[in-house]
Amino acid sequence: MPKPMERFTWGWSIRFFDTTSATKKGNILHLWLEQRKDSSEGKPRSILRLPCIHCSSEQKNELEMTAKSRTLGIWRIKRAKVILGALDGKTLERLVLDVRVPPETIVKCVEAFSKQGTTSLQNPTRRPTQRETRVEKMLEMLEKPSKQKGRDWRDFTVRYIGIDFTGPMIKSIRALTIDRPGVTRIELSQTICRKFGFYSPVGKLKDKTVIDIMKRMDMDNLIRLPKVKHYKSHYRKKKPQPPLLDEQETQLWRHKDFEPLTFVLIREPKQQHLWNDMMSRHHYLKKPRLFGPQLRYLIRGTNPGGESEDSGSEDCKLLGAISFSPAAWHLAGRDAFIGWDDHQREKHLNRIIGNSRFLILPWIKCPNLASMILGRIARRVTSDWKATYGIKPVLLETFVQQDRFLGTCYRAANWIEMGRTGGYSYFSSQKKNIAPKTIFLYPLCKNFREILCRPPTFRRILNSSEPPGETAGVEHLNTPS
């Protein structure tokens, strides 16, 4: 995400960020220009700001007590943490990520505190959500003595990132944080993974996922995480680096000139650096960073009369790059096409992967090359994803921005057009300014609907000493790979 314009100060400051543009520095300017444009048309547009606030020591103590409380309700707890974060100089972007509250709500909360003080936390402005109700009930059960916890103690769960946590599990995590006060968060997450059997299908610890879960539990006051150790930063601003690829004269080719095509799965830092450089300089999104499980490829072809990539010859011609990463959580067109419900989507979404980047270098002009690449990479990524992550995908998805591209190569490669996106932004007022994107899908097998809509089967694992892949103490899915 783009960094805020400036750090919090006790004078005038404007802090905002935008997720609709690609470049970091361009986001703020883009939002400012859009505001000026609307103002010139007689339609002024507001920019979210965090007002400068201050409080007395008594008010701050009251806020700290509310933020640490386990009985005052999630609504008050989160808002107290928002105000404390604003007092500490956290940016709006940081508060959104830490507290998981929409930016409009954060600004309203800080503005209400600046006018009313701590009395703004007395009366909630809405009813608790279903999830907040479950968290509050879990907090209530955890605070009761063992004999008064009730029958729901071992069966009542709270869900974080697709994993259900029972009361005994959260109590055990609490004990780990208390018994090992000097341990780092990564060490704590690895201990929890081994204790409850949180492994990926290929047997690796899900420690990064558990760190995110612990942060959310800490925000809900279910546990108390150790403070992050801050070390003195020796970061220096990187100097602009020359491009790794020299600009070449545009030339028209035939796709037969590049046969056989080769997809080089990126495994080495040198290859990764080249992929990032190509995307940051030649792809319209500019950002090479991807999130979650991912596979990246360099696309190479044989020069006329040259040797193939597999032989190690330098005669191989670099044509472009492509990548795949996790699918979007919810898409109305895709979900209607599959025909699954929310529960099936939650359990089988990992069988859909998204074509997150696709680039053919600008000096490569070759009719039908893009569709040919898409047709062949579909077969390759299926086996590579299964070998890397232990899950065989059955459907591919991608998005094509309508004001830039027509999506002709995807149609030519037999991808199916499935409507368009509704837009997404942290700012609800920004959705109307986001260019819609066309959704394309590509089934990888004939029975993909049967697999994705298959009702999940569960079993309860009570032994924590299970082999990798089994989850102790939680219900988990048994599906064929």
pLDDT at res. 385: 94
As annotated, the residues of the chain forming the CATH 3.40.630.30 domain(s) are 251-445
129 residue type, one letter: T
pLDDT tens column, 188-221: 999 999 999 998 877 888 888 899 999 999 999 9
Least Cα distance to 322 among 361, 301, 296 occurs for: 296
Cα separation of 325 and 343, whole Å?
22
Tokens of 26: 């361009």
- pLDDT band, very low/low/confident/very high, at 477 (cuts 50, 70, 90): very low
pLDDT at res. 459: 43
Helix (H) or strand (E) holding 387: helix 369-389
Q: Is the pLDDT assigned to residue 245 strictly greater than 50? A: yes
State residue 385 phi and psi, 5-degree precision: -65, -40
In the chain, pLDDT over 70 holds for what percent of residues? Answer: 76
Cα separation of 163 and 476, whole Å?
8
Higher pLDDT, 179 or 237: 179
State residue 230 phi and psi, 5-degree precision: -100, 125
Give the list of residues 6+ apart from residue 437 with CB closer than 8 angstroms, or none.
399, 400, 401, 402, 420, 421
Decide: helix, strand or coil at residue 359: strand
Residues pairing with 297 in the sheet: 265, 322
pLDDT at res. 219: 92
- pLDDT band, very low/low/confident/very high, at 148 (cuts 50, 70, 90): low
Higher pLDDT, 27 or 209: 209
Long-range contacts of 315-319 (CB under 8 A, 24+ apart): 316/262, 317/258, 318/245, 318/361, 319/258, 319/261, 319/360, 319/361, 319/364, 319/369, 319/373
Helix (H) or strand (E) holding 4: none
pLDDT at res. 122: 87
pLDDT at res. 235: 55
Query: Which DSSP string do the residues of 164-220 spell out, in sequence order?
Result: EEEHHHHHHHHHHHHH-TT--HHHHHHHHHHHHT-B-TTS-B-HHHHHHHHHHHHHT
Q: Is the pLDDT assigned to residue 89 strictly greater than 70? A: yes
Long-range contacts of 60-69 (CB under 8 A, 24+ apart): 60/84, 60/87, 62/118, 63/118, 66/118, 66/121, 68/221, 69/221
Region 16-36: what's the mean pLDDT?
Answer: 36
**Which residues in 331-457 belong to E strands, given as ranges?**
352-360, 364-365, 395-401, 416-420, 437-443
Q: Cα separations (Å) of 178 from 160, 187, 371?
A: 21, 14, 57
Helix (H) or strand (E) holding 264: strand 262-265
In the chain, pLDDT over 90 holds for what percent of residues? Answer: 36
pLDDT tens column, 397-450: 999 988 888 889 999 999 999 888 876 555 555 555 567 889 999 999 999 999
pLDDT at res. 384: 95
Task: Confirm if 426 and 102 have CB atoms less than 8 A apart.
Answer: yes
14 residue type, one letter: I
37 residue type, one letter: K
Task: Confirm if 16 and 28 have CB atoms less than 8 A apart.
Answer: yes
* CA torsion angle 422 355 292 295 (round to 10): 180
Give the torsion sign (CA, 444, 447, 449, 454). negative
Task: Confirm if 207 and 194 have CB atoms less than 8 A apart.
Answer: no
Q: Is the pLDDT assigned to residue 20 strictly greater than 60? A: no
- pLDDT band, very low/low/confident/very high, at 476 (cuts 50, 70, 90): very low
At residue 29's C-alpha, the angle toward residues 19 and 432, to 5°, is 45
> Which CATH class name applies to 251-445?
alpha beta
**Which of 86-100, 146-160, 255-269, 302-316 is the least confident region?**
302-316
**Which of 59-63, 288-292, 373-377 is the least confident region?**
288-292
pLDDT at res. 244: 79
Cα separation of 192 and 183, whole Å?
13
DSSP 8-state class, residue 352 = E
- pLDDT band, very low/low/confident/very high, at 48 (cuts 50, 70, 90): low
